[in-house]
Structure 1
Amino acid sequence: MQDIKIKSVRFDESEVQSLVAENLRDLSERYGGTGDDTPITADDFAAPNGDFLVAVADGELIASAGWRRHGDDAELKRMFTTQTARGRGVARRMLAAIEDSARDAGCRRMILETGDRQPEAIALYESAGYVRVDNFGYYKDHPDVLSYGKSLLPDFAG
């Protein structure tokens, strides 16, 4: 596998927004509509209340993941791996990096929403120790939404 660098970036950078647009197209193909209407701003991912990471290989952005503070929790947003980078462990590396970022900022748990038409995402989260939690957030009342959580600190069982 080629060298992959994971780095923190501004969410509103044009190259990052191109990757986010690819993510939304993927979601739109799975669910219809615009893919995800959750209100998000660049400030959501600004320290100390968030971070946005990308994976870069051969000068190209191949994956993204961000978190934003949700009380004592970090909410995972815009987790995405490009089609050409899938199946090579990039998503697992991104998930570990975004968990580290949130943990370093003092968050106790990572929470996320995903959908029932994303079996590869569900498999990744469950294999990484995420368990179902009560639905929350923008899509909490949608029937195809699945919410997950994982403790980021060893002394927290939530």
Structure 2
Amino acid sequence: MQVTFETPDQPDVHALIAELDAYLYSLYPPENVYALDIASLLAPNVEFAVARDAGGSAIGCAAVVVTPEYGEIKRMYVRPTARGQGLARKLISALEEKARAQGCSVFMLETGPTMQEALALYERMGYKHRGAFGDYPEDPLSVFMQKVVA
């Protein structure tokens, strides 16, 4: 499996994002899904990583939105058939490394409270629970996390 930085505007990436959206909307009401669309993912301050299997098929993706204050992890998804192989960790690590090269030392994310595997992964990677940030409201259907790197 390989992680590379690519454009999100590709048919196989659209399919991944559609799977992610279907999953999120099955868990949470639309007003509690803070997803970036393809146009937003194409912004110049967004780094988008794609994980591909040995045959070149897209099996995971994630983005980091780099702001002057922090990098926000967004659109983290690995297909269920590809989980358990450390791919999510590779995606996040690649995003953090890319954003650190741009001077980013603080990372934030918002996820849902029912996504226990994701929460456990973020905690293992050094993310700590915190309050809402940016434009997010405090909400029982959101979990906010932060990581500060040296």
Question: 1:8-67 deviations in whole A, cap 9, x for unaligned?
Answer: 1112222211111111111122224487344545455544x2200010002211111101
**CA displacement at 1:85 relative to structure 2:** 0.5
1:37-48 → structure 2 map (5 Å cutoff): 37-40=34-37, 42=39, 44-47=41-44
Partner amino acid for 1:109? V
1:130 to 117, 127, 131: 127
**Kept in 2: contact 1:27–1:35 (CA 8 A):** no
1:124 partner SS = helix
Q: Indicate yes or no: 2:146 matched with 1:149.
A: yes
Q: Provide the alpha-carbon RMSD of the alignment.
A: 2.0
**Distance verdict in 2 for CA 1:144–1:43, change over 3 Å:** closer
Partner amino acid for 2:114? R
2:93 partner SS = helix
**Kept in 2: contact 1:24–1:34 (CA 8 A):** no
**Aligned residue number for residue 47 of structure 2:** 51
Distance (whole Å) between structure 2 residues aligned to residue 146 and residue 70 of structure 1: 20
**Aligned residue number for residue 103 of structure 2:** 106
1:15 partner SS = helix
2:76 to 74, 79, 83: 79
Distance (whole Å) between structure 2 residues aligned to residue 98 and residue 109 of structure 1: 12
Percent identity of equivalent pairs: 34
1:144 partner SS = coil
Distance (whole Å) between structure 1 residues aligned to residue 135 and residue 14 of structure 2: 21
**Kept in 1: contact 2:41–2:63 (CA 8 A):** no
Structure 2: give runs of 5+ residues left out of the alignment. none
**Aligned residue number for residue 33 of structure 2:** 36
Distance (whole Å) between structure 2 residues aligned to residue 9 and residue 67 of structure 1: 13
**Kept in 2: contact 1:50–1:67 (CA 8 A):** yes
Partner amino acid for 1:102? A
Say how many residue pairs are matched.
149
Greater alpha carbon shift after TM alignment, 108-117 vs 36-45 = 36-45
Distance (whole Å) between structure 1 residues aligned to residue 102 and residue 39 of structure 2: 17
